[in-house]
Amino acid sequence: MPTELPYAADAEVSLAFDELAVLRRQYEKEVDQSHVTVQTKFNYAWGLVKSPIRDHQVEGVRLLQEIYRAEPTRRRECLYYLSLGYYKMDNFEEARKFNALLLDKEPTNMQAQSLAELIDKAVAKEGYIGMAIAGGVAALGTLLVAGLVRRARK
């Protein structure tokens, strides 16, 4: 899903496995010590959201939501990655919601503007696919009805 948009690179670039492993080890170490810093949690969530693996993305979004709820001073930096995580999981409604919150706070944020364009394109593509499926179902229904009408006439 390459894009000409330079600012939404996070939508397509993942961390290397070993880079994510470093973030995971730090997070798990702090969990074991019963004190996870907000920065460690954010870093790990960021790495998970950037992953191409859906389970990682889900966990990353969950951690970012925890930070968003518990740390009002960190909300702004969570918004983009929450939006990105939802975008990568094809939950465009939530992606759009969080991205709009960020754009309300920072209308000139190029990353958010670029991500908004990617979300809009994905929604449009999803709509075209939906219309094609609906058209196919309608055509199939018409053929079935026509076949039943022919049988009834015989």
HEC profile of the chain: CCCCCHHHHHHCCCCCHHHHHHHHHHHHHHHHCCCCCHHHHHHHHHHHHHCCCHHHHHHHHHHHHHHHHHCHHHHHHHHHHHHHHHHHCCCHHHHHHHHHHHHHHCCCCHHHHHHHHHHHHHHHHHHHHHHHHHHHHHHHHHHHHHHHHHHHHC
Please give the residue that has the higher pLDDT: either 141 or 4: 141
Ranking 31-35, 56-60, 134-138 by mean pLDDT, the lowest is 134-138
CB neighbours of 28 closer than 8 A, spacing ≥ 6? Answer: none
Average pLDDT over the chain, rounded to whole? 85
Ranking 14-28, 89-103, 124-138 by mean pLDDT, the lowest is 124-138
